[in-house]
Amino acid sequence: MLFLWLYMFYSCAGSCAGLTTRGSAVPPRAAPLLPGDPGEESSLEEQRAAPDAGSPISSFFNGSGTKRLPQAIIIGVKKGGTRALLEFLRVHPDVRAVGAEPHFFDRNYERGLAWYRDLMPRTLEGQITMEKTPSYFVTKEAPARISSMAKGTKLIVVVRDPVTRAISDYTQTLSKKPDIPTFESLTFKNRTTGLIDTSWSAIQIGIYAKHLENWLLHFPIGQILFVSGERMISDPAGELGRVQDFLGLKRIITDKHFYFNKTKGFPCLKKAEGSSKPHCLGKTKGRTHPDIDQEVVQRLRDFYRPFNMKFYQMTGQDFGWD
């Protein structure tokens, strides 16, 4: 029976290939890797070396479609909730996204657009190709480079309270380098005078208005969606509704897709794409923050306040961070 099946498959390989491309059948899409799945941290080179749709066998197992440059990119911000947003969006059948962060427009631009496109998943007609690299938002060259690729690219920025974001950023670094200086000592150039050290990336990233000015030189404000990291926790379906509208997608992701995990302190998916099991982000998400001197926290809030007010004006949204 097996030999008969193989004979029929090879006989059909050439003649049947055209049937799927003409729309008479839609092959199954390969499920993307999720955080915690084996191979999530595989390098981009390994992804590029994976079987492609060049042969009948690989086409049969991987499905058909075309690799396209992304029509939408999650450009920031680090520790804002970008991974959660991407994983939530991947539940939508019309969204296909790269699992790893390509870092094309900041670290790998010299490799060229052909290299970048080859990293993308295959999509069918009507599906959106996406990627997310949070460091794009603070990379000076990124806006011009993305605009040069496609002026109509839709951009998504996930933002959260810059003070909380800075502490979360520090917490992540602390988990990797336990011997780093305290958050308090890194915050100030001079603690006696209270001068904030804006050269420290954990502080600098949160000056959202400054970074946004650079993007508005190349993209209209209406082409950028600002997602609240806080509302992603309190009302994930509401924020995902806004994102789906922005991307021109049918509102398929709703309340029924989420449950609140009290242990982790954030929403999780009841059923991830390609799985029948509940799925939460990995152990690197939702780390317990260290206790920070409240005087330092207040000084940071005072520092960020004027930048936050300007950001509210620029975006037309009050994120309520003060």
pLDDT, tens digit, 9 for 90 and up, residues 265-286: 778 998 665 555 666 865 555 5
Q: Is residue 33 part of a domain?
A: no
Please write the tens of the pLDDT for every residue from 114-130: 999 999 999 999 999 99
CATH of the domain at 237: 3.40.50.300
Q: Is residue 17 part of a domain?
A: no
Contact 307, 209 (CB under 8 A): yes
Q: What is the pTM of this model?
A: 0.78
Q: Is residue 193 part of a domain?
A: no
Contact 307, 207 (CB under 8 A): yes
Does position 41 have pLDDT exceeding 80, yes or no? no
Total Cβ atoms within 10 A of residue 283: 10
Total Cβ atoms within 10 A of residue 80: 30
Total Cβ atoms within 10 A of residue 272: 22
pLDDT at 259: 81
Contact 300, 196 (CB under 8 A): yes
- In this prediction, what percent of the chain has a pLDDT beyond 90? 67
Q: Is residue 249 part of a domain?
A: yes
Please state the residue numbers annotated as binding site for 3'-phosphoadenylyl sulfate.
79-83, 160, 168, 285-289
Catalytic residue status for 79? yes
Residue with tokens 């390994």: 46
β-strand partners of 196: 188
Residue 242 CA to residue 227 CA, distance in Å, equals: 8
pLDDT at 48: 37
pLDDT at 126: 95
CA distances from 280 to 87, 236, 261, 284, 320 (A): 9, 13, 8, 11, 27
Q: Is residue 80 part of a domain?
A: yes
Q: Is residue 153 part of a domain?
A: yes
Bigger pLDDT: 217 or 270? Answer: 217
Q: Is residue 303 part of a domain?
A: no
pLDDT at 261: 80
The catalytic position among 79, 177, 264, 283 is 79
| Average predicted confidence (pLDDT) for the chain | 82
- Looking at residue 51, what DSSP letter applies? -
Residue 74 CA to residue 86 CA, distance in Å, equals: 8
Please state the residue numbers annotated as binding site.
79-83, 160, 168, 285-289
pLDDT at 288: 78
pLDDT at 51: 32
Q: Is residue 240 part of a domain?
A: yes
Q: Containing domain of residue 103, as a range?
A: 66-161+201-288
**Among 7-16, 169-178, 238-247, 304-313, the least confident range:** 7-16
Domains: count for the chain: 1
